[in-house]
Amino acid sequence: MAIVRIAPAVNGYFAAGILPAKEVAMSNYVIEAENLTKRFGDFTAVNEISFHVEKGEIFGFLGANGAGKTTAMRMLCGLSIPSSGKATIAGFDVYKQTESIKQNIGYMSQKFSLYEDLTVLENITFFGGIYGLSRKEIAVKADQLLHELGLFDHENTLVGSLPLGWKQKLAFSVAIFHEPSIVFLDEPTGGVDPVTRRQFWDLIYKASDAGITVFVTTHYMDEAEYCNRISMMVDGEIKALDTPENLKKQFNARSMDDVFFELARGAKRSGD
Amino acid sequence: MKTLSFLLQKEFKQIFRNPTLLRLIIAVPIIQLMILPLAADYEIKNINLAVVDVDKSRYSEELIQKITASGYFVNIGTTTSFDEAFSWIEEDKADLILEIPENFERNLIRENKERLFMAINAINGVKANMGGAYLGQIIQSYNAEVRMEWIPDTKVPPMPTISISSLNWFNPSLNYDFFMVPGILVFLVTMVGTYMTALNIVKEKEVGTIEQINVTPIKKLHFTLAKLIPFLVIGIFVFTLGLFIVARLVYGIVPAGNIGMIYAYLFLYLISVLGVGLLLSNYSQTQQQAMSLAFFFVMIFLLMGGLFTSIDAMPLWAKWIAYLNPVSYFIDFMRLVVMKGSTFADVKHHFMVICGFAVFFNTWAVISYKKTS
Amino acid sequence: MKQFLSFIKKEFYHVFRDTKSLLLLFGLPIAQIVLFGFALTNEIKNTSIAIYDQAHDPASRSISEQFAQSPQFNLVKNIRNQDEIEAVFKAGEAKLVVVFPPNFEQDIQHENKAEVQLIADASDPNTANTLTVYASNIIMDYQKELMLTTTIPISIQTDMRFLYNPELKGAPNFVPGVMALILTLISVLMTSVSIVREKENGTMEILLVSPFNPLMVIISKAVPYLVLSLANVTMILLLSVFLLEMPINGSIVLLYAESTLLILTALSLGLLISNITNSQQVAMIVSLMGMLLPTLLFSGFMFPIENMPLPLQLISNLVPAKWYYIIIKDIMIKGVGFMSIWKETLILTSMTAFLLTMSLKKFNIRLAK
């Protein structure tokens, strides 16, 4: 397992020879999707989407409710097997190597997913442990993490009794605790106040600086501006993909709100 | 192994963090074990008898006296009208009517024979049959007394008599606690194990934390083991309390067989029923579904386990269900080892079957747990 | 009223949209009735026995033959020495051993008296008892055959009539019992869990802040389960009549009315449990683990209540299923009218009233906080 973890991308060059060189060295992309599709019966939730995400990039994944964002993300995380198309995550195939993918990613879902009946420290220890970190490593890193988050006095507080904003920041920190090459964030800032959201994005930038690729879905258009590149999903398809600047130019819009509105008003599916 | 230790740490922490639940799953079985076996006495006694005595003779009175003195019957009333006695049956006051016809005494002596009439509420067929048999025996013995009165002095009985002596081995006083306590204990431990494992994983599904687990590289086997071991420990704990505290101190039951062997069997047994719980949770999306399923199977475990009704008497297809029921093997095992002191050679078959169940259910549970849909 | 109806409608959507749960709630109880209706009986059938025949003469062989042919017994082994008896019991091969003494027939013919020994495995005392009586009957029958040749002076004969169930089947006793058991447990379970679930998810708070009597909120949650349970009753009755060949001798309307009453009692009990618990797991443990065995044992269809120690007899009065079991037996099998069961009906009604009052009180306290 250790071999797999160092290999793909952490320090920006590839440890050729440890992994099959061909598979990884092909490109500098950590996420590659080609014609990725997911059907549930007659319903096509995600329809032939193709895109690449570079290492260290903050990639925004936007779309209205029901556009297919979460389904797409679940396929990339190895939680759901695609109906057709191709995709690799950190060089691993989404059909056959789901467990290797899981070793190399972090994930934070829109439904808050730490254990509310465990304390802050217990949650950190647990998730660190199941990614194969030793108790010693965990202790050192947890200490550091609690200081950074300002949660040091709260290591023995039950997560259920923390304010939402703290929970979200903690969940993110836990998701990248094992230093994955990619972290997937599914609407991470839902329901938190603007100040906390700002702090949350600071954490994201920090992770990105450390070389972790960030794949994030969001509803907030101001957050979209923070991304390096964004894709807009409408009715299961990617309708636009570029940097925020270029998109605004392309749609002659002053803000991302306008871009979103322009694209989304043609949508047939909406709401949950 | 290292991952497993982290998982187990988490499971135990969560269990101990919910003291209400923990107290319930330990106290409920123990309290029930202290009370319920006393309610499971099937010995036929206290049969409510209504007498329709039209004769009102010395004989009829003697007979009624003898019946009441037997201890099996409670005379709830004597009347001269069969209809009145029948209404007592309808109202559930009486179980059995004995009608002594007019001129019973006279006809018995003059004509050398007379008939008595019995009507028995047979909704519970066995109770009716047993009641009828007891009453028949008392009447026969009264008959012999009367005969002796008229035809005394017979060294050799006037007719061939086969006397029956009955012995009750392993439990001469027919103490039903000895049978019920180990059986009910087994069942209570089964309930704790099946319900708790079935609900535990589904709760993670409902709350959403399972998604976070599924996106980690955790091994299915490790996850399953981590869900299984805590309830294995609790199951063994409850069983130990039941066997050494309640069964020994309250009911005075000391296992006749090898304790180590009982625990070896308990271990295998718990693994199988916990496996069933895991399976149920894998096939449920909500706790309500898991619980409906668990309720269904636990009822079958209980009622088709041979504790309350005999498996021998079931139709063939139902016997097969009983053979596929782990509970029936454990109840039988307990009866053999605790009461009769059977040895490993006697229960080898029980061990083989339970090993099979353990492997089967848990393999299925591990396979059917899907991290990726 | 219109609001109330729309609330009930919403609850119906909840219950009926989740087809999997619905299938379980509706299908499983029915499967249980069929299964237990056929399989459960306290009759003695095919019980394994062994014979230790030291006589090997025509009389002992003739009785052995009777045992072998009886539907109650299944002769599995002929034992050759005393020690084997214990071995047979320890291996669980037989539950009864019949022992004929040497010179059995000679004793009968010359001394008019012989003894047969019945050794029962009393580790299951209830069965041991019944087996001994049944085995004695077989031996007595043989004795009667012997006596046919001689006339016996002064003999009392008995005519026995079995009322309601002349074939002594298990179903008339067990079907009403299983009905009482399953209806009670399912109803308690469904209500307690569905309400606690809303508490757990936090949706209960939303309902309670709506401009709407909280009592109505709770009642509307119980209505779908009442309907569902009545549907269950219908299926169960159809199955008992057509599959288990159990007649309904009394009034069907009365049967439904009483069933509705029991369901209401159980729903109120579920309501109370949901009010005093905060998580689905606790509610389930209370209503399943806490209630299954007591309901089974104290309803009286498995073990006679009059055999229990007095304190337990008193406890049994608190179990709704006990009263329903009496009622349903009376209506279905005895075919009696309301006048015979008004007392039981009154008890169930008061239980319901009491449970409802209790849970409303608890509920109001919670609201006041």
Same domain for C203 and C123, yes or no, is no
Q: Residue C116: exposed, middle, or buried by beta-carbon count in 10 A (0-12, 13-18, 19+)? A: buried
Contact C271, C192 (CB under 8 A): yes
- What is the pTM for the complete model shown? 0.82
Total domains, chain A: 1
pLDDT tens for C11-64 read 777 777 777 777 777 788 888 888 888 888 777 788 899 999 998 998 889 999
Question: Is B118 within 8 Å of C160 when comparing Cβ atoms?
Answer: yes
Confidence of residue A177 (pLDDT cuts 50, 70, 90): very high
Same domain for C326 and C359, yes or no, is yes
What's the token pair of residue B204? 């993670």
CA B372 to chain A, closest CA, distance in angstroms equals: 4
Same domain for C75 and C122, yes or no, is yes
Question: Is A77 within 8 Å of B215 when comparing Cβ atoms?
Answer: yes
CA C33 – CA A188 distance, rounded (Å): 50
- B chain contacts of residue C164, beta-carbon cutoff 8 Å: 121-123
pLDDT tens for A18-65 read 344 344 445 578 999 999 999 988 898 999 999 999 988 999 998 877
Same domain for C217 and C341, yes or no, is yes
CA C208 to chain B, closest CA, distance in angstroms equals: 22
Average pLDDT of span B245-270: 92
The answer to whether residue A173 is domain-embedded is yes
User: Which chains have 3 or more CB–CB distances shorter than 8 Å to chain B?
Assistant: A, C
- Domain region containing A215: 55-83+97-264
Confidence of residue C367 (pLDDT cuts 50, 70, 90): low
CATH number, domain at C104?
A: 3.40.1710.10
Residue appearing with tokens 């019957």: B73
Question: Is A113 within 8 Å of B212 when comparing Cβ atoms?
Answer: yes
The answer to whether residue A13 is domain-embedded is no
Question: Is B214 within 8 Å of A134 when comparing Cβ atoms?
Answer: no
- Most C-contacting residue of B312, B317, B349 (CB-CB within 10 A), to test interface: B312
Q: Considering just the CA atoms, what is the radius of gyration of chain A in Å? A: 19
Identify the closest residue of chain C to B295 by CA–CA distance: C288
Identify the closest residue of chain B to C155 by CA–CA distance: B113
Confidence of residue A139 (pLDDT cuts 50, 70, 90): very high
CA B291 – CA C270 distance, rounded (Å): 15
What sign has the CA pseudo-torsion B278, B283, B287, B289?
Answer: negative
Q: Strand order of the sheet with strand B47-53?
A: B73-79, B47-53, B96-100, B113-121, C155-163
Same domain for C233 and C357, yes or no, is yes
What's the token pair of residue C31? 């499967």
Question: Is B6 within 8 Å of A129 when comparing Cβ atoms?
Answer: yes
- DSSP H stretches of helix in chain B: 2-16, 19-35, 58-69, 82-90, 104-110, 125-150, 177-207, 209-214, 220-240, 259-282, 287-303, 316-323, 326-334, 340, 348-368
Question: Is B121 within 8 Å of C286 when comparing Cβ atoms?
Answer: no
Confidence of residue A145 (pLDDT cuts 50, 70, 90): very high
pLDDT tens for B143-199 read 888 877 777 655 555 666 777 778 888 777 777 788 889 889 999 999 999 988 998
Contact C140, C108 (CB under 8 A): no
CA B283 – CA B224 distance, rounded (Å): 14
Residue B75, H or E segment? strand B73-79
Same domain for C275 and C181, yes or no, is yes
- Which one of C168, C301, C312 has the shortest CB-CB distance to B39? C312
pLDDT tens for B112-122 read 878 889 999 88
Same domain for C304 and C326, yes or no, is yes
- B chain contacts of residue A117, beta-carbon cutoff 8 Å: 14, 17-18
> Can you give the pLDDT at residue C165?
80
CA A37 to chain B, closest CA, distance in angstroms equals: 14
- Which one of B14, B216, B372 has the shortest CB-CB distance to A80? B372
> Can you give the pLDDT at residue B113?
79
Confidence of residue A13 (pLDDT cuts 50, 70, 90): very low
Nearest to B352 by CA among B275, B272, B288: B272
Identify the closest residue of chain B to C195 by CA–CA distance: B288
Question: Is A117 within 8 Å of B18 when comparing Cβ atoms?
Answer: yes
Average pLDDT of span B328-341: 88
The answer to whether residue C3 is domain-embedded is no
The answer to whether residue A33 is domain-embedded is no
pLDDT tens for B353-367 read 999 999 999 999 999
CA B116 to chain C, closest CA, distance in angstroms equals: 5
The answer to whether residue C2 is domain-embedded is no
> Can you give the pLDDT at residue A6?
36
The answer to whether residue C57 is domain-embedded is yes
Distances (CA, A) of B40 to C299, C300, C307, C314: 11, 10, 8, 15
CB contacts under 8 A, B 22-81 vs C, are 24-25, 28-29, 32, 35-36, 38-46, 48
CA B329 – CA B331 distance, rounded (Å): 6
SS in 3 state form for chain A? CHHHHHCCCCCCCCCECCECHHHHHCCCEEEEEEEEEEEECCEEEEEEEEEEEECCCEEEEEECCCCCHHHHHHHHCCCCCCCEEEEEECCEECCCCHHHHHHHEEEECCCCCCCCCCEHHHHHHHHHHHCCCCHHHHHHHHHHHHHHHCCHHHCCCEHHHCCHHHHHHHHHHHHCCCCCCEEEEECCCCCCCHHHHHHHHHHHHHHHHCCCEEEEEECCHHHHCCCCEEEEEECCEEEEEECHHHHHHHCCCCCHHHHHHHHHCCCCCCCC
CA B329 – CA B347 distance, rounded (Å): 10
DSSP state of C313: H
Question: Is B150 within 8 Å of C154 when comparing Cβ atoms?
Answer: yes
Question: Is A117 within 8 Å of B9 when comparing Cβ atoms?
Answer: no
Residue B76, H or E segment? strand B73-79
Total domains, chain C: 2
- Which one of C118, C189, C282 has the shortest CB-CB distance to B166? C118
Instruction: Report helix angle C338-368 to C214-242, nearest 10.
Output: 150
CA B29 to chain A, closest CA, distance in angstroms equals: 26
Question: Is A102 within 8 Å of B373 when comparing Cβ atoms?
Answer: no
Domains and their CATH numbers in chain B: 2-40+174-368 (no CATH), 47-150 (3.40.1710.10)
The percentage of residues in chain B with a pLDDT greater than 70, rounded to a whole number, is: 97
Pairing of strands A43-54, A29-40: antiparallel
Same domain for C87 and C25, yes or no, is no
pLDDT tens for C123-174 read 777 788 888 888 888 888 888 787 766 666 777 777 888 888 877 777 788 8
pLDDT, chain B, mean: 87
- Which one of B114, B142, B332 has the shortest CB-CB distance to C92? B332
CA A254 – CA B5 distance, rounded (Å): 54
CA B296 to chain A, closest CA, distance in angstroms equals: 30
CA atoms within 13 A on the CB side of C327: 29
Identify the closest residue of chain B to A184 by CA–CA distance: B215
> Can you give the pLDDT at residue C325?
93
Check pLDDT > 50 for residue A92.
yes
Contact A271, A66 (CB under 8 A): yes
> Can you give the pLDDT at residue C148?
66
> Can you give the pLDDT at residue C244?
79
Q: Name A59's bridge partners.
A: A215, A229
Same domain for C26 and C91, yes or no, is no
- Most C-contacting residue of B100, B117, B118, B124 (CB-CB within 10 A), to test interface: B124
- Reported ipTM: the value is 0.82
- Domain region containing C333: 12-40+169-368
> Can you give the pLDDT at residue A136?
92
- B chain contacts of residue A114, beta-carbon cutoff 8 Å: 209, 212
The answer to whether residue A175 is domain-embedded is yes
Question: Is B39 within 8 Å of C284 when comparing Cβ atoms?
Answer: no
CA A70 – CA A82 distance, rounded (Å): 13
CA C92 – CA B170 distance, rounded (Å): 13
- Which one of B109, B179, B313 has the shortest CB-CB distance to C124? B179
What's the token pair of residue C98? 């019949």
Same domain for C303 and C363, yes or no, is yes
Identify the closest residue of chain A to B373 by CA–CA distance: A80
Q: Residue C84: exposed, middle, or buried by beta-carbon count in 10 A (0-12, 13-18, 19+)? A: middle
- B chain contacts of residue A100, beta-carbon cutoff 8 Å: 217
Instruction: Report helix angle C252-276 to C171-201, nearest 10.
Output: 40
Q: Residue B219: exposed, middle, or buried by beta-carbon count in 10 A (0-12, 13-18, 19+)? A: middle
Boundary (domain end) residue, out of C117, C147, C177? C147
Same domain for C97 and C218, yes or no, is no
> Can you give the pLDDT at residue A249?
87
CA A180 – CA A213 distance, rounded (Å): 9
Pairing of strands B47-53, B73-79: parallel
Does A15 or B283 have the greater pLDDT score?
Answer: B283
Check pLDDT > 50 for residue A15.
no
- B chain contacts of residue A99, beta-carbon cutoff 8 Å: 217, 371
- Which one of B119, B156, B291 has the shortest CB-CB distance to C284? B291
- C chain contacts of residue B291, beta-carbon cutoff 8 Å: 189, 193, 280, 284, 288
Identify the closest residue of chain B to C336 by CA–CA distance: B90
Residue C78, H or E segment? strand C73-79
Question: Is B2 within 8 Å of A127 when comparing Cβ atoms?
Answer: no
Confidence of residue A216 (pLDDT cuts 50, 70, 90): very high
Boundary (domain end) residue, out of C147, C178, C207? C147
- A chain contacts of residue B5, beta-carbon cutoff 8 Å: 129
Most confident range (mean pLDDT) of A255-264, C161-170, C196-205, C280-289 is C280-289
Identify the closest residue of chain A to B208 by CA–CA distance: A113
Around Cβ C97, how many Cβ atoms within 10 Å? 23
> Can you give the pLDDT at residue A21?
39
Nearest to C303 by CA among B47, B128, B42: B42
CATH number, domain at A101?
A: 3.40.50.300
CA A151 to chain B, closest CA, distance in angstroms equals: 21
Pairing of strands C47-53, C96-100: parallel
Check pLDDT > 80 for residue C214.
no
The answer to whether residue A8 is domain-embedded is no
Same domain for C181 and C143, yes or no, is no
Boundary (domain end) residue, out of C81, C115, C147? C147
Most confident range (mean pLDDT) of A159-163, B120-124, C14-18, C321-325 is C321-325
The answer to whether residue A18 is domain-embedded is no
C213: Cβ–Cβ under 8 A, 6 or more apart, which residues?
Answer: none
- Which one of A77, A113, A130 has the shortest CB-CB distance to B218? A130
